[in-house]
């Protein structure tokens, strides 16, 4: 069985997501929704009409434990031999579950090809941009609102075009909106997600991806199937917070970015280290030359 975990705080498109998962799965499935800081009344939603759906409420209105805690709690009760985390505003391919299982080794984190979703029309956006198949870890830098030079995930367009015919392939990183693996691999290597050091939300993709690569596993893109994630240009709250929570989230995010960078750049807790990772993807943009020296220079720009 496949257990699908959905952390939810802004359930605007959650019903569509759940229906899509249930209708397009070809094998046994359970969907575990973890409502984080909200209470979904049965009079408003229909999640409980299908016996394959399980619901967890934690926290109270206007309070929340965070996405990491929600994922961890859902994974803890998952009954499946396989687990998948997905955001609450995603559409999936017919037979996504079977196709992902067919190409999943014991130590793989697998991500379907990512498309862009128009959530109102509930259809894929069709434009000239290619589907998102690869992401890389960008050289530590500051985005406009960051105080910390962190390790961000970025779309690797050149690799998308160069390796378009390789259907099962390695990718340095992922977005975090969807990932799939064997439950045993989650229990023994990937999970639970670290709430103490990263905070409730930040760098989920980096934590999952680095744990896999550094332990000797792999992060693999499966282009034989896909999911479609809500395009950020469309209306939708994402993982919603109140104004006060957004302020606290900003503080937690900076701390999480700093921990992500400092820990993974220097850790010796795993089979491999960051230098091995860079050598494994030698053409990853931004990491040419003396990257260690340039990291120290980037840190001088920080205000945290």
Span 126-162, pLDDT tens digits: 999 999 999 999 988 777 777 777 899 999 999 999 9
Q: Is the pLDDT of residue 61 over 80?
A: no
Rounded Cα gap, residues 96 and 130, in angstroms = 20
Average the pLDDT over each of 8-12, 72-76, 92-96, 109-113 and give the range with the smallest value. Answer: 8-12
SS3 sequence, 153-190? EEECHHHHHHCCCCCEEECCECCCCEEEEEHHHHHHHH
Instruction: Find out if CATH 2.60.40.1480 is the number for domain 2-299.
Output: no
Cα distance from N-terminal residue to C-terminal residue, the chain? 45
Q: How far is CA 155 from each of CA 108, 152, 161, 183, rounded to the nearest angstrom? A: 20, 10, 12, 28
Residue 45 has pLDDT above 80, yes or no: no
Distance CA 212, CA 171 (A): 11
Question: What residues contact 40, with CB distance under 8 A and at least 6 apart?
Answer: 8, 11, 33, 47, 55, 57
Distance between CA atoms of residues 166 and 160, nearest Å? 10
Q: 172-200 pLDDT, tens per residue?
A: 999 999 999 999 999 999 999 999 999 88
Section 210-239 average pLDDT? 85
In the chain, what are the domain boundaries?
2-299
């Amino acid at each position: 069985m496949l257990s699908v975990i959905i952390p939810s705080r802004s359930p605007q498109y959650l019903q569509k997501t759940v229906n899509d998962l249930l209708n397009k799965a070809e094998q046994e499935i359970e969907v575990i929704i973890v409502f984080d800081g909200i209470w979904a009344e049965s009079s408003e939603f229909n999640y409980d009409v299908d016996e394959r759906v399980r619901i967890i409420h934690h926290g109270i209105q206007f309070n929340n434990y965070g996405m990491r805690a929600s994922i961890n709690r859902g994974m803890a009760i998952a009954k499946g031999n396989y687990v998948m985390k997905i955001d609450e505003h995603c559409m999936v391919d017919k037979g996504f579950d079977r196709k992902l299982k067919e190409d999943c080794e014991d130590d793989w984190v697998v991500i379907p090809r990512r498309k862009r979703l128009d959530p109102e029309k509930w259809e894929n956006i069709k434009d000239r941009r290619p589907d998102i198949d690869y992401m890389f870890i960008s050289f530590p830098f500051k985005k406009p609102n960051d105080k910390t030079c962190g390790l961000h995930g970025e779309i690797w367009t050149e690799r998308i075009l160069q390796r378009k015919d390789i259907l099962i392939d390695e990718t340095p990183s992922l977005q975090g909106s969807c990932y799939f693996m064997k439950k045993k691999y989650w229990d023994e290597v990937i999970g639970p997600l670290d709430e103490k050091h990263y905070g409730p939300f930040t760098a989920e993709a980096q934590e999952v991806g680095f744990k896999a690569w550094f332990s000797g596993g792999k992060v693999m893109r499966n282009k034989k199937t896909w999911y479609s994630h809500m395009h950020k240009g469309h209306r939708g709250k994402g993982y919603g917070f109140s104004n006060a929570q957004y302020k606290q989230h900003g503080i937690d995010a900076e701390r999480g970015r700093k921990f992500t960078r400092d820990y993974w750049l220097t850790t010796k807790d795993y089979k491999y280290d960051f230098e091995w990772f860079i050598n494994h993807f030698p053409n990853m943009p931004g990491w040419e030359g003396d990257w260690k020296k340039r990291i120290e220079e980037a840190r001088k720009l920080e205000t945290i």
